Structure 1
Amino acid sequence: MAKPDWEAIETAYRAGVMSLREIASHHGISEGAIRKRAKRDDWSRDLNARIQQKADDLVRKQEVRKTVRTKTELTERVLIEATAEVIASVRMEHRGDIRRARELTNTLFDELGAQCADVGALEQLGDIMLAPDDKGRDRLNETYQKVISLPSRVKSLKDLSDSLKTLIGLEREAWSIGAVSEPEKTPLPGKNTDLTTDQAAELYKKMMS
């Protein structure tokens, strides 16, 4: 028969968690033998209170960790929602600004179209307003003629087209629309990548003839 593990028995006895009967049954000895050894070696069941206190501390720490974790998750959720609302507000403002800018650009296109539709009337108006000075010059009318001239209209068309292209890009970005590959362009005979105003005017004449 194996000898009892008195060190383990003493530990269990002093812990005070298991009853004397449970300790005896677990180690295969009698309760009387345990009482006898405990009396001889002056064992005391003085650790039970400390063990219970430690257990209570562990429970409290677990509860604290759980509470802190919950508060952290709540704080993160609030932060995410607040940040998302700010970003959404900025995006909506950008979309509104882009929409207004595009409407204004389209209005300018309409005005340019109306100007190009009746250039003759504009030229007649310039003749009516002609008021040369004593040197035979009318600087105001000269400025007016430059404004309604073909190169000026072509330049306005080019500037408006560039503005519209920029606005379309901003609009697609604001609405998270994926980039679309541009179709391959066939260059016109003799056309440069960057036209001067005079070159654009000449090209415009050829297209309209």
Structure 2
Amino acid sequence: MAKAKKPIDWAAVEREYCKTDQSIREIARWYGISDKAIRLRAKEKKWPPRGEGAPQATPQAAQSISDAVEPIVERIRTLPADFDASPEAIIGRGQKLAVRMLDELEADTANIGEIEEAIEEANSGKNAARRRDAMLKAVSLSSRAGTLKNLALAAKTFAEASAPDGKKKQRQAAADQTASSGGKFAQRSGPRLVASNP
């Protein structure tokens, strides 16, 4: 047996249509009718245009570009004047940071038993099981191995960046310098055209 259709509250649909900024599809879904039926009813009954009675947002004054950029510029200006941004300085700081982090990892690994006991004591009880598991996972062997791998990769990258050029590059640079200096191995210039008519 088919379900009896419930009556449609067209007054409420009209209110929603005129006074809110909901889409026609959302209204149709809410009232369990098709959006086409709402459109046809609005056209037939000459409902006012959509959103006319909806509360409008108060327009805000446009923000000037200088006001938007000013905080960013101030953050950049706060860098110390003696800040060295040369590649060599950056590589040096990166190497020092990698060594410090490696020292921290070594200290954590040496005291892993004490750290795990402290986590167990701090998170005892039924409600803290999830937190305890997350903290133990953070200090687990796989986590520390991943950290070590990342530190090794960073150290390798810094070492490669600070290393002098390889032999091939050094030879090529020497050859370029020799060729450009005008010595006996320099590239020959084109022939001279001399016209001497006596």
TM (norm. structure 2) is 0.39
Q: Greater Rg, structure 1 or structure 2?
A: 1
**Higher relative contact order structure (alpha carbons within 8 Å, sequence separation ≥ 6):** 1
Structure number with the higher helix fraction is 1
